[in-house]
Amino acid sequence: MSPLNAVEEPLLRELAPLLPGEGAQVVRLGTAGAEEDYIATVQTTTPITGSTFSVVALAPVSDFNTPIARARHDVLLVSALTLLILVPLSLLGSRQVGGALVALARNSERLKQLDFSTSLAHPDSILYEVNALSDAQQVMQQSIRERTTELNLAREKLARLVANGLRLSREQDRDTLLGHILHGGRDIANCVAGTLYLMTEHDTLRFALRTHSDPLPEHELPLHDAATGAPMNGYVASYVALNNKTVVIDDVYTEERFDLSGTRRFSEESGFRVISMLTVPLSPRAGEVIGVMQLMNALDPETGEVIPFSTELVSFIEALAAQSAVTLENHHLLEAQKNLMDSMIMIIAGAIDAKSPYTGGHCERVPELAVMLAEEAGKVSDGPLADFRFQSEDEWREFRIGAWLHDCGKVTTPEYVVDKATKLETIYNRIHELRARFEILFRDAEIARFEAIAAGVPAADAAALCAERQHQLREDFAFVAECNIGSETMAPENIARLQQIASQTWVRHFDDRLGLSHGELVRIEHFPATPLPATERLIADQPWHCIPRDASNSLTSGHGFRVDVPPYLYNFGELYNLCITRGTLTEEERFKINEHIIQTIRMLDQLPFPKQLKRVPEYAGTHHETLVGNGYPRQLTHAELSIPARIMAIADIFEALTASDRPYKKAKTLSEAVKILARLKDQQHIDPALFELFLRTGIFQRYGERFLQPEQLDTVDVEAYLGRA
């Protein structure tokens, strides 16, 4: 056989390099331009003969690649088609999932910030987990929103409760306080209407206030049966008051515990249908019920529909009721204290008036007149009174108390000084002692007549001398008695005649130290007793008539008093008193009467007045001052006297001039009193602006119509006094 590389077939020659190898490989066979890849497999075999045979198997590669290529093409085509479908779907899905996640993130941020202005977004995702998380966020938002709404409502109610408590604690007017209690309860409960009952002293509940404007019923609700005395627990308000328990009624028309026929009848008659009801007791610290608050028809804050009162709401209303009860009780206690204090002040003033008929109803009438003038002064809008007015009831009360107490110091003034109608009067009128002495001298004249006759003097001459002496004694006593009345000013010649009469003597045969009190003995023990029979002056000034002043009780220390204090507390000297030049009072007694204003100031300054009554001593203690500084006890001037103090001065003077219940003087008519006031105004003793206001507004006339006698109500020429310099 020819070698393979020697054969003529070109393809076979190209296989020669493959021999004598074995295995399979890819070879390129063919002519240029027509080459093709073949898979060649060489299998070498050695038979028994020892010859080696190589078998070459050829197959075009294309026979193997065409199915693979077709399969690859199909795979690529399918892959391309799959990508064309899946990529948009993936983009769309990822975008949808991403949007849902962004929405969830935003929802989470809003939840974090507690932003419930709008509902949370609810993305509709293809993922279960996203939808589940979104649903959870929705539930969370709703729960938080509801809880937050409840908390906000609770906080709002709590804020209202606190604000209401502050308002209640500041309020002083009782009617306004009751309004705050009831309207505060209605606002906190968010209900339609309410009624406030207050406990009375006779075991009933009275209607104190309603939120509706209809008139309050005048009847009262009894707490016990009038016939049997059994508690009336069948009625809501009575039950609450008796048992100090809250009652909640969800529906008036289905309620069976209480008799609500009256409420149902009211609903029918008024057109206001009561459905739900809350009734709470007003019980302060001591536990005693002082009132009942009843609220009706709670409203749903969102829908406005009538709903039952919730448990939480009941707690707030009970807190308000407790708060209101304490405030109301405190107000009642303060009012009771005020009334007690005012009553005691009026009792003191009344006691001062009753102490002496010479003061009459002065302490009662001066406050009336002072308040009338203060009210008119508060209405003035120009001039020196433009800035004056009392701004509150406390200021008015302060002024009234000052007016009531303006003469409280008179409790220290002895009655016999205030009532001293004659010069010789102390506890009694000592003119009787002098008359007895004149009687002695009169009798002595008779005795002297008989002694003269016995001595040989003709009876006619002795009788003439006796008659002349007795006539002189009668005239002297009549003159002394006239001087004792003190109705006229004592002229110097009258004083000289008194002294001449006083120089006469009489003989005392009895010890003048017997039957004296301890105080009298103390005063007289420093003076030697006159041996009996003792010759005494007919009208005498004895050393023990001068009562020393207590050195430890200084009237000028502190308080700024500028007064001249007499050296003696009293001087009971008979001639000293009869020689009083005007009136019936000695210098010591006049000072004692004027001292009442000093005692008024000292007494009131010792009282711990609260802040709102601090000016009571000023109002009570300045009505004897003048604008020019010559009054008493401090000699205050125009700049130091407030408008209320000047009002008090006019009221005090005018009342004293026109008082008809004083036995020692005749009451002035209106015209006479106004004339005196005008003179005091010209002397700058009283305020001219207030005097003109007193006339222009007719206060004097109104006061006169209330307190003066008809014969005092004459005509006053007001124009003659207005504008007069």
Looking at residue 369, its pLDDT comes to 93
Question: What 3-state DSSP class applies to 205?
Answer: strand
Question: What 3-state DSSP class applies to 534?
Answer: strand
Instruction: Report DSSP state, residue 4.
Output: G
Q: Is the pLDDT of residue 541 over 90?
A: no
Q: Which residues contact 105 (CB under 8 A, 6 or more apart)?
A: none
pLDDT band for position 41 (cuts 50, 70, 90): confident
Looking at residue 697, its pLDDT comes to 92
Q: For 163-179, what is each residue's pLDDT tens digit?
A: 666 666 666 677 888 88
525, 528, 533, 535 alpha-carbon torsion, rounded to 10°: -100
Q: For 126-168, what is each residue's pLDDT tens digit?
A: 666 767 777 776 777 677 777 777 677 767 766 666 666 666 6
pLDDT band for position 688 (cuts 50, 70, 90): very high
d(CA 596, CA 413): 7
Question: Within its chain, how far is the Cα of 324 from the centroid?
Answer: 14
Q: Is the pLDDT of residue 690 over 90?
A: yes
Q: Is the pLDDT of residue 398 over 90?
A: yes
Q: Is the pLDDT of residue 692 over 80?
A: yes
Nearest to 178 by CA among 332, 341, 316: 332
| Unique residue bearing structure tokens 């002064």 | 377
Q: Is the pLDDT of residue 447 over 70?
A: yes
Between 73-77, 253-257, 485-489, the lowest mean confidence (pLDDT) is in 485-489
Q: For 198-218, what is each residue's pLDDT tens digit?
A: 999 888 999 988 888 778 888
Residue 215 preceded by cis peptide, ω within 30 = no
Looking at residue 6, its pLDDT comes to 65
Q: For 65-104, what is each residue's pLDDT tens digit?
A: 777 778 888 888 888 888 888 777 777 767 766 666 777 6
Q: Is the pLDDT of residue 115 over 60?
A: yes
pLDDT band for position 12 (cuts 50, 70, 90): low
Mean pLDDT of the chain: 82
pLDDT band for position 225 (cuts 50, 70, 90): confident
CATH class of 173-337: alpha beta
The hierarchical CATH code for the domain 356-410+591-720 is 1.10.3210.10
Looking at residue 201, its pLDDT comes to 87
Most confident stretch, 136-145, 155-164, 426-435, 441-450: 441-450
Provide the residue ranges of all domains of the chain, joining segments of one domain with +. Answer: 173-337, 356-410+591-720, 431-578
Q: Is the pLDDT of residue 426 over 90?
A: no
